[in-house]
């Protein structure tokens, strides 16, 4: 990646030393105090306290979601979303603000917790943007929705906010923006029109057989053999049923069966993750997965398997016209060489559920989080790694600059 060395995000943001120090303090606090999905109680309170100091009204939506409503006269309504949750990961870094937090999963398991996907940078950027906008009311007119969304990692947060009446509680935006830190050079942004992130469907499949002694296979229906055939056959869906130029991924992430080597068990269980970029491909793949599971069970003389949906991520789709306009804006504030054209990513996000609930356009982009030496090292941490700790400079300033540029492109006087 190339980078425009003239980029000075702090100057672009008109940050004084005090605000620059607060931005770093926000980031370090959030990183050191992560919370699991839909449990972001202290994080929500931290955000609300900041909005209170700025005189920005706010409302709770979806449990631990917070939406600041920054009103400044007549004008467009623009939404900007930052996700707030962290992951059950034990941090492996040497930063002074490393997380030692613990949390409890839904099943009662105690786990370490870390902002291993960089949501702390997202929250910091939007908190900083809110402070700049609140202090510069002469430069813009309209309403800005500061959407701090919980539960992105489990696809629960955006859904919870919408079902809790998000769009009845705040003004209707004409566009919703969002961004995400990724492995890449700090100071750069990647953006792509159209489909930008994939649908993700996750299922749990339970196979039923007939338990028997391992020495008496004739009296069994072996769910492990059945499962092995299903797992193998599923890989042929993408390879032989989907056009080579259409994207799809079918992953079996877990497989559990049996308790002892000489007992053919009564059941087996596996989980699936299915990623697609288009509606028609998604429907084709999901139908094919169901067909394979049912057919292999029938071929084994086994009862009908049970399929349960664990969660579903929507596709993220960047409105082409809005994306083209914003790309020009970002290049103007970040530098031509710092705004890169990207390929769609097979990763998933629930951001798309927010604009989709209203049918309004959205734009979602990515910003880098690591210095040149780390990028060149070949060992750059990826999202969900215990070493995924973005460098503060110029990561935070770039993210805040991009957020402000997007918002101001709609509400500037």
- Quote the tokens at residue 166: 């998000």
Other beta carbons within 10 Å of 382: 11
H and E: helices and strands count for the chain: 12, 18
Measured distance between the N- and C-terminal CA atoms of the chain, rounded to whole angstroms: 35
Give the pairing type, strands 57-61 and 65-72: antiparallel
Is residue 77 within 8 Å of residue 174, measured between CB atoms? yes
Residue 36's DSSP bridge partners are 86
Phi-psi region of 378 (alpha: psi -120 to 50; beta: other; left: phi over 0): left
Q: Which two tokens stand for residue 394?
A: 């110029």
**Residue carrying structure tokens 């994080």:** 43
Residues with catalytic annotation?
A: 85, 152
Q: Of 345, 348, 338, 352, whose CA–CA distance to 402 is shortest?
A: 338
Please provide the DSSP assignment of 14-35 as one string.
T--HHHHHHHHHHHHHHHHS--
Which H/E stretch holds residue 329? helix 320-334
The residues, ordered by sequence, that sit 6+ positions from 110 with a Cβ below 8 Å of its Cβ are 102, 103, 104
Half-sphere exposure of 275 (CA within 13 A, CB side): 16
DSSP-derived secondary structure letter, 33: S
Q: Which of 218, 197, 222, 404 is nearest to 317 (CA)?
A: 197
SS3 166: helix
**Rounded distance between C-alpha atoms, residue 40 and residue 155, angstroms:** 15
């Amino acid at each position: 990646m190339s980078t425009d060395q003239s980029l000075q995000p702090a100057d672009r943001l008109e940050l004084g030393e005090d605000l620059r120090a607060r931005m770093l303090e926000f980031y370090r606090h959030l990183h050191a105090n992560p919370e699991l999905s839909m449990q972001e109680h202290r994080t929500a309170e931290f955000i609300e306290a900041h909005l209170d100091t700025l005189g920005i009204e706010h409302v709770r939506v979806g449990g631990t979601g917070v939406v600041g409503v920054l009103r400044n006269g007549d004008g467009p309504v623009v939404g900007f979303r930052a996700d707030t949750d962290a992951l059950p990961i034990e941090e492996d870094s040497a930063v002074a603000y490393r997380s030692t937090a613990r949390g409890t999963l839904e099943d009662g398991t105690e786990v370490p917790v870390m902002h291993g996907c960089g949501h702390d940078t997202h929250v910091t950027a939007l908190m900083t943007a809110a402070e700049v906008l609140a202090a510069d009311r002469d430069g813009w007119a309209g309403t800005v929705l500061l959407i701090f969304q919980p539960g992105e990692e489990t696809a629960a947060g955006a859904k919870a906010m919408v079902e809790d009446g998000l769009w009845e509680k705040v003004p209707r935006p004409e566009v919703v923006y969002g961004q995400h830190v990724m492995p890449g050079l700090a100071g750069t942004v990647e953006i792509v029109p159209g489909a930008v992130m994939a649908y993700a469907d996750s299922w749990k499949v339970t196979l039923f057989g007939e338990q028997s002694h391992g020495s008496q296979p004739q009296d069994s229906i072996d769910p492990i053999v059945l499962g092995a055939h299903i797992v193998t056959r599923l890989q042929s869906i993408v390879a032989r049923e989907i056009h080579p130029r259409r994207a799809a991924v079918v992953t079996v992430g877990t497989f559990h069966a049996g308790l002892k080597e000489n007992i053919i068990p009564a059941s087996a269980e596996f989980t699936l993750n299915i990623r697609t970029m288009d509606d028609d491909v998604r429907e084709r793949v999901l139908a094919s997965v169901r067909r394979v599971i049912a057919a292999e069970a029938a071929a084994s003389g086994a009862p009908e398997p049970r399929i349960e949906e664990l969660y579903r991520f929507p596709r993220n789709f960047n409105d082409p016209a809005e994306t083209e306009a914003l790309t020009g804006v970002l290049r103007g504030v970040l530098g031509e060489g710092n705004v890169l054209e990207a390929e769609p990513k097979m990763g998933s996000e629930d951001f798309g559920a927010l604009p989709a609930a209203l049918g309004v356009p959205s734009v979602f982009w990515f910003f880098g989080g690591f210095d040149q030496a780390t990028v060149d090292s070949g060992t750059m941490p990826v999202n969900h790694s215990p070493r995924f700790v973005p460098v503060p400079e110029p990561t935070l300033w770039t993210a805040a600059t991009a957020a402000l540029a997007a918002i101001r492109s709609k509400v500037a006087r």
